[in-house]
Amino acid sequence: MTKKILILPGDGIGPEIVAQAEKVLAYLIAERGLKVELDHGLLGGCAVDATGVPLPDETLVKAKESAAVLLGAVGGPKWEAIDRPLRPERGLLAIRSALGLFGNLRPAVLFPQLAAASSLKEEYVSNLDIMIVRELTGGIYFGEPRGIRTLDDGQREGFNTLVYSENEIERIARVAFDVAGKRQGRVCSVDKANVLEATELWREVVTEIAKDYPDIELEHMYVDNAAMQLVRTPKQFDVILTTNLFGDVLSDLASMLTGSIGMLPSASLASDGSGMYEPIHGSAPDIAGQDVANPLATILSLSMLLRYSLVEVQLADHIEQAVSQVLTDGLRTKDIHSVDTQCVGTDAMGDAVVKALSSLS
Ligand code: NAD
């Protein structure tokens, strides 16, 4: 049966950057024998405008029928003041939860051509290749009770709950150990077990699961130390396994080591191998509609989609090589442009990747 890919462009720069990934998909379908059925849907602010909710039922039905979802980004100032349950970001959390996307893979890879764009000196980041495996559907972002309440003395109090079950910890630990097995074989599990009981259990369960993976080296690190080590000697890490909240923060930190937020893809996986793929950046309303957004994170997200959900490993490798080639050719969008490179727009960058891809058959 032909596999389906659902495309959700979203808001802000979402439609522009997703259009570039669609050019790559169109090329792979027409010229490289990729057999997939494409469909489109609404998520985020555009869905609020069209249907009144950020995740319409129709989108969720289509997503559940698909092997993979390719997402641009959601949100923007237009929807910041509306009721909290209707905000675009709630649609994103809801689709991740409804699809059971518990395993978030966020690579922090530095293309050697962009070494100068890193916030660290080149010697600390050259050939940097870290994979952050973040738990995505549990922890404090989903724990109940949560809210803002008024106390007896009239003061307001905000509260959230950090909760992790053994099963939730075990399944994300297994993702991390499997990923490490295909890389350098090292997992660093990041927690705050000295203060938070939920992550004391996290450490216990991860240690237990590690016994099933005798070839993988496991280390534990407190999150405050991990943040420091990521800036001090980032190349010490291979796979970082961590909770939803810690992963959110550490993966953004790691992204800056690679130079630009516009270069980094992500995958969010369910237990059946289906997944949602999106750049790590947001909808960048400040540059939307100007043909300046960097589409490479979205194109690299498509590469992850082909690798993990469609198991088209060669096509995935070729997309990464094509991206590397356009960088070697000196093409840069504005966010990664420097004096000795050629500044191109979003659309031209997409065309250049397709051209580079066509020379790699
Ligand atoms: P952002 O990632 O959208 O932008 C941060 C900065 O990076 C901006 O200066 C932007 O111009 C730049 N940038 C981002 N992507 C770029 C690209 N591809 N090329 C060039 N420059 C790029 O973060 P923000 O400004 O904090 O958030 C804007 C909106 O996006 C908010 O509504 C936020 O809630 C939403 N958001 C959505 C997601 C998502 O859809 N997964 C993630 C983060 C933020």
Q: Tell me which of 39, 252, 291, 317 is the catalytic residue.
A: 252
14 C-alpha to center of ligand 1: Å?
A: 10
Task: Estimate to the nearest angstrom the gap between the alpha carbon of 311 and the chain centroid.
Answer: 18
β-pair type (147-150, 156-159): antiparallel
pLDDT above 90 (res 119): no
Q: Is 212 a catalytic residue?
A: no
Q: Is 164 a catalytic residue?
A: no
Residue 293 CA, closest ligand 1 atom number:
19
Task: Estimate to the nearest angstrom the gap between the alpha carbon of 25 and the chain centroid.
Answer: 19
282 C-alpha to center of ligand 1: Å?
A: 3
Locate 230 and state its tokens.
């990521």
Per the structure, the count of domains in the chain is 2
Mean pLDDT of 142-166: 97
d(CA 237, CA 235) in angstroms, rounded, equals 5
* pLDDT higher at 135 or 337: 135
Mean pLDDT of 142-160: 97
CA distances from 224 to 87, 205, 249 (A): 31, 21, 11
125 with 255, same domain: the answer is yes
Under the phi-then-psi rule, with left for phi > 0, alpha for psi from -120 to 50, and beta for the rest, what region is 132?
beta
**Quick one: pLDDT band at residue 165, thresholds 50, 70, 90?**
very high
281 C-alpha to center of ligand 1: Å?
A: 5
255 with 182, same domain: the answer is yes
Domain CATH number, residue 302: 3.40.718.10
User: Measuring from atom 36 of ligand 1, which residue has the nearest CA?
Assistant: 282
pLDDT above 90 (res 117): no
pLDDT digits (tens, 9 = 90+) for 199-216: 999 999 999 999 999 999
Residue 44 CA, closest ligand 1 atom number:
40
Helices 296-308 and 346-358 pack at an angle, to 10 degrees, of 40
Q: Is 178 a catalytic residue?
A: no
Q: Tell me which of 248, 277, 308, 335 is the catalytic residue.
A: 248
pTM comes to 0.90
Q: Does 262 sit in the ligand 1 pocket, CB within 6 Å?
A: yes
User: Measuring from atom 23 of ligand 1, which residue has the nearest CA?
Assistant: 282
Looking at residue 261, what is its pLDDT?
84
Asked if 82 and 53 touch (Cβ cutoff 8 Å), the reply is no
257 with 304, same domain: the answer is no
Q: Last residue of some domain: 237, 261, 285?
A: 261
82 with 121, same domain: the answer is no
Asked if 270 and 102 touch (Cβ cutoff 8 Å), the reply is yes
Q: Is 248 a catalytic residue?
A: yes
Q: Does 103 sit in the ligand 1 pocket, CB within 6 Å?
A: no
Q: Last residue of some domain: 213, 230, 261?
A: 261
pLDDT digits (tens, 9 = 90+) for 257-310: 887 789 999 999 999 999 999 999 999 999 999 999 999 999 999 999 999 999
97 with 127, same domain: the answer is no
With vertex at residue 247, the alpha carbon angle to CA 75 and CA 103, rounded to the nearest 5 degrees, is 85
The Cβ of residue 23 has, within 10 Å, a number of other Cβ atoms equal to 17
Residue 80 CA, closest ligand 1 atom number:
32
pLDDT digits (tens, 9 = 90+) for 123-150: 999 889 999 999 999 999 999 999 999 9
75 C-alpha to center of ligand 1: Å?
A: 9
d(CA 13, CA 10) in angstroms, rounded, equals 8
Looking at residue 260, what is its pLDDT?
77
Residue 279 CA, closest ligand 1 atom number:
41
* pLDDT higher at 351 or 262: 351
124 with 254, same domain: the answer is yes
Domain of 76, in residue numbers: 1-102+270-361
pLDDT above 90 (res 160): yes
Looking at residue 241, what is its pLDDT?
98
124 with 71, same domain: the answer is no
Q: Is 191 a catalytic residue?
A: no
Q: Last residue of some domain: 261, 279, 313?
A: 261
Mean pLDDT of 49-66: 98
User: Measuring from atom 34 of ligand 1, which residue has the nearest CA?
Assistant: 75
Residue 79 CA, closest ligand 1 atom number:
32
pLDDT above 80 (res 340): yes
139 with 1, same domain: the answer is no
d(CA 305, CA 328) in angstroms, rounded, equals 24
Q: Does 73 sit in the ligand 1 pocket, CB within 6 Å?
A: yes
Beta-bridge partners for 85? none
**Quick one: pLDDT band at residue 115, thresholds 50, 70, 90?**
confident
18 with 127, same domain: the answer is no
293 with 317, same domain: the answer is yes
User: Measuring from atom 8 of ligand 1, which residue has the nearest CA?
Assistant: 284
Asked if 63 and 6 touch (Cβ cutoff 8 Å), the reply is yes
Mean pLDDT of 232-253: 96
162 with 253, same domain: the answer is yes
199 with 321, same domain: the answer is no
CA distances from 338 to 35, 121, 163, 331, 358 (A): 39, 16, 45, 10, 27
Mean pLDDT of 39-44: 98
CA distances from 62 to 15, 42, 55, 353 (A): 19, 10, 11, 29
